[in-house]
Amino acid sequence: MAAEHRYDPSVIEPKWQALWERERTWEVSDDEADAATASYVLEMLPYPSGEPHIGHLKNYSVGDAVAHFHRRAGRRVLHPMGYDAFGLPAENHAIKTGEHPRESTAKSIAAFQEGMRSWGISIDWSREFATNEPRYYRWTQWIFLQLFDRGLAYRKEAAVNWCPVDATVLANEQVIDGHCERCGTLVEARQLEQWFFRITDYADRLLDDLETIEWPPHVVRMQRNWIGRSEGAEVTFSCPEVGVDYPVFTTRPDTLFGATFFVMAPEHPDVLRLAAGTEHEQAVRDYVNRALAESSEERAEADRTKTGVPLGRTVINPVNGERIPMFVADYVLMEYGTGAIMAVPAHDQRDFDFAQAFDLPIRRVVEPAEGEVDEDQPFVAHTDDEVLVNSGRFNGMSSVAGKDAIIDWLDSEGRGHRSVNYRLRDWLLSRQRYWGCPIPVVYCESDGLVPVPVDDLPVLLPDVEDYAPKGRSPLAAAEDWVNTTCPRCGGPARRETDTMDTFVDSSWYFLRYTDADNDEEAWDPSITDRWMPVDQYIGGVEHAILHLLYARFFVKAFADMGLLKAQEPFARLFTQGMITRDGAKMSKSRGNVVSPQPIVERYGADTARAYILFIGPPDQDADWSDEGVEGVHRFLARLWRLGADVAEHGAQSEPDPNAGTGEGDDLELLRKAHWAIDKVTNDLAGRFAFNTAIAAVMELVNEAYRRREGASADVVHFATATAASLIFPFAPHTGADVYERLTGDRVWEQPWPAADPALLERDVVVVAVQVNGKLRDRIEAPSDASREQLESLARERPNVARHLDGQEVSKVVVVPGRLVNFVVR
């Protein structure tokens, strides 16, 4: 092989990147999109904080493979790129580096642009934007006002999660096991007035429509659990001393006769009012203050010692008229149901613990239909066949029938009704931080809260040098900006100084890509409807109940406003696994970070991309190995050298899928090529088993080397061109380069190859052929060949025939898949 045939990605890759950039190869016009051919492939947009990392390379390597495959399958592919540039990730990075977020974000965006180009990702750059650009956030503000007009954005005082380190409130979705999703700090509860989106109005649709999308089951399950729909009854307990009714939600109305006390959450707005004037007033006040400083998760721990304080009041149990005492206790959470519960200590562990601690009565009201009741057991383990006891006229009913009968009775008495409860709370969107989209409202002394008119958008984020979080929004210090005039009366007004959470920005960016340069509206529905929903979305599972829930809510709200046909943003979702090193998550403190850029510089982008996909199924976590990178690099070099060598010894021509003599090495190599086409096609179209797809191309290249002496030149040409064509979605520069050398054509303009079913290689096994136990030959046979087939194939082999010639075969031993032995005398 000629010495000048050296695989040099530092020459090949910039050459093709320059051509794609010059010709704007990956731009797609909206006119090309119709329902049949449009394909929208999208990776979750990155936070521009620092340099792109290995996870980004994986994310975009997966997405780019899909985009290329769809294009070559004849679809018009929208594959855009942008940056989630507002919010905590970018701002915290700025605070850490001491550089203004405006500058550090711009720097990071430049690093991403450089990264994406040097990786050869097929992006339509004409649609690029960052969410911190006024031309984008003007429409984020417009969306806020649309939601506000419809009552879907509102302000209220509520107990909210506060991160003391980030000095801002957080949404429930941003609190993971009681800790801040961003910085890991234990969150605190605070009573504050904040902005919310009414996502709970969409709880049922968010739940039901999970059936209409192809998402990984674990993500669907996480959303289902987060929405947390449960069916039961709302039952009204009235407090005669203050003349107020308190509804509670219960999933077990059949146990109502067992309610022996009543508990309110410390955040319940009536707690202090109820205790006022009783002997417990001060104790209640102290208890509430202590409880508010603790996280819901801590408070909800099952094995925690139960604490609480009596309120000095009673409520009436509607089913039996009993007066039961009221308590405040921190095991009841405001965010579940109504913030108050009927306590049934015989049938609930936490109520039982509380009853024991406070010496309250425990009354059993359901029992197993069959068998003895163990009086020593604190409460009945619920089974399917329980009956009601101690429940007045409902005694003897099964608990299922009793549940219905009790609800019906409550309903007829006007003391309760069937009800559905959700775990999902409204989405808290305001943040006491600088680097975000300003909320477009002002507060006027005479008009109160006034939305900024749409024509005055955007409300620009002012340049503030002291942007460090202080517990109130840094914007409050920008007096010139804060003081404004009221759009309604022209009098003095103050701007809202909180900003929107970054998840608001990312809840609609995929719509903007479809119509990114529109200065008249956020998007033109007639264009956006051509692309939406996203056909394939790719990103990390950490967004399962944050971004992925919020975006679904936005899309449903827009559909209701007539702004969109799609009811769901992402028809298919793929969640990629993490790349670890030495079995551990990469982190600077561990010193095990693999940075993409040095790998790309040393081996080329194709090696980095193909290795990341070859390392294992892309939805799984995979451990980085330097040897593995070398192996993939050697494979690409082998493919490229084969291409260069074949090209040197023949004229450029179209690959011929039926080349050769149809037998021997020609047939075997042709079969291997068609087998690889079939394998890669199925792996790309199905479950994204890119690792086995790449392995198939490796096998094809090996086979081409093995058979190149024996096979016809046009068959070797076909096999090599096919390998280039198939590797293109994973290693586009190498694929394009080899293909062009062999054919003169641009591989991305070629249709995806089709396997000839007649040539699809069967599974072949090698079977030893013996005569009297001595090895005489080997045959290749289909793995499912019958005994008769194996015997006749073996008899055909010349060396076998010679040893059998003139002898009487007394016995033939056939071990399918292994051996044929002729016993002769």
Q: How far apart are CA 371 and CA 743, in angstroms?
A: 82
Cβ distance to Zn ion smaller for residue 183 or 373: 183
Of 54 and 546, which has the nearer Cβ to Zn ion?
Answer: 546
State the nearest-atom distance from the C-beta of 490 to Zn ion, in Å.
7
CB-CB contact of 750 with 725 (8 Å): yes
| Residue carrying structure tokens 């009841």 | 332
50's torsion region: left (phi>0), alpha (psi -120 to 50) or beta?
Answer: left
The pattern of x and - marking residues 445 through 484 that bind Zn ion according to CB under 5 A reads -xx-------------------------------------
What is the maximum alpha-carbon separation in the chain?
118
Which of 11, 110, 183, 373 lies at the binding interface for Zn ion (CB under 5 A)?
183
Q: Residue 324 has which token pair?
A: 């039961």
Q: Minimal CA–CA distance to 825: which of 768, 813, 811, 379?
A: 811
- Minimum CB distance to Zn ion, residue 541 (Å): 21
**Shortest Å distance, C-beta 145 to Zn ion:** 17
Amino acid at 54: I
Taking CB under 5 A as the binding criterion, the range among 121-129, 173-181, 761-769, 779-787 that sits at the site for Zn ion is: 173-181
Site for Zn ion in 309-348 (CB under 5 A): none
Residues that bind Zn ion (rule: CB under 5 A) add up to a total of 14
Nearest CB to Zn ion, comparing residues 183 and 713: 183
Q: Nearer Cβ to Zn ion, position 269 or 487?
A: 487
Which of left, alpha, beta for 286 (phi over 0: left; psi -120 to 50: alpha)?
alpha
Q: How far is the CB of 224 from Zn ion (least distance, A)?
A: 27
Residues 14, 15, 16, 19, CA torsion sign: positive
Q: Shortest Cβ distance from residue 570 to Zn ion (Å)?
A: 28
Nearer to Zn ion, 101 or 655 (CB): 101
Nearest distance in Å: CB 592, Zn ion: 25
Residue 165 or 222: the one with the smaller Cβ distance to Zn ion is 165
CB of 188 to Zn ion, least distance (A): 11
CA dist 316 and 55 (Å) reads 58
User: Which lies closer to Zn ion via its Cβ, residue 166 or residue 740?
Assistant: 166
Q: Are strands 38-43 and 536-539 parallel, antiparallel or unpaired?
A: parallel
Among 18, 357, 489, 685, binds Zn ion (CB under 5 A): 489
Stretch that binds Zn ion, among 44-52, 352-360, 455-463, 486-494 (CB under 5 A): 486-494
Q: How far is the CB of 507 from Zn ion (least distance, A)?
A: 21
Instruction: Tell the smallest beta-carbon distance from residue 460 to Zn ion (Å).
Output: 21
Which residue of 65, 121, 235, 444 would you call a contact of Zn ion, by CB under 5 A? 444
Distance in angstroms between the alpha carbons of the first and the last residue of the chain: 53
Q: How far is the CB of 486 from Zn ion (least distance, A)?
A: 3
188 lies in the site for Zn ion, by CB under 5 A: no
> Which residue lies nearer to Zn ion by CB, 431 or 674?
431
Return the number of the residue (166 or 703) whose C-beta is nearest Zn ion.
166
Nearer to Zn ion, 432 or 575 (CB): 432
| 3-class secondary structure, 717 | helix
187: contact with Zn ion by CB under 5 A: no
Q: How is 206-236 classified by DSSP, letter by letter?
A: HHHGGGGSB--HHHHHHHHHHH--EEEEEEE
Is 180 near Zn ion (CB under 5 A)?
Answer: yes
Give the interface segment with Zn ion, choosing from 113-121, 252-260, 485-493, 688-696 (CB under 5 A).
Answer: 485-493
Cβ neighbours for 164, distance < 8 A, ≥ 6 positions apart: 185, 187, 188
Residue 367 host element (H or E):
strand 366-368
Question: Quick one: 180 or 326, whose CB is closer to Zn ion?
Answer: 180
| Binding segment toward Zn ion, per CB under 5 A, in 203-211, 268-276, 488-496, 498-506 | 488-496
By the 8 A CB rule, do 779 and 794 touch? yes
Q: What one-character-per-residue DSSP string does 444-495 give?
A: ETTTEEEEPPGGG---PPPP-S-----SS-GGGG-HHHHEEE-TTT-SEEEE
* 486 touching Zn ion, by CB under 5 A: yes
CA distance 237 to 228: 25
CA distances (Å), origin 60, targets 26, 126, 482: 15, 18, 41
Residue from the set 5, 190, 423, 488 that interacts with Zn ion by CB under 5 A: 488
285 lies in the binding site for Zn ion (CB under 5 A): no
For 561, phi then psi, to 5°, come to -85, 0
Q: Which is nearer to Zn ion, 180 or 566 (CB)?
A: 180
Site for Zn ion in 143-172 (CB under 5 A): 163, 165-166
Pull the structure tokens for residue 357.
Answer: 């601690």
* Tally of CB atoms within 10 A around 131: 27
Residue 433 Cβ, how far from Zn ion at the closest point, in Å? 11
Rounded to 5 degrees, what angle do the CA atoms 639, 640, 643 make?
90
The burial of 44, by beta-carbon neighbours within 10 Å (0-12 exposed, 13-18 middle, 19 or more buried), is given as buried
Residue 579, helix vs strand vs coil: strand
Stretch that binds Zn ion, among 387-395, 463-471, 489-497, 775-783 (CB under 5 A): 489-497
Q: Name the residues that contact Zn ion, by CB under 5 A.
A: 163, 165-166, 180, 182-183, 185, 444, 446-447, 486, 488-489, 491
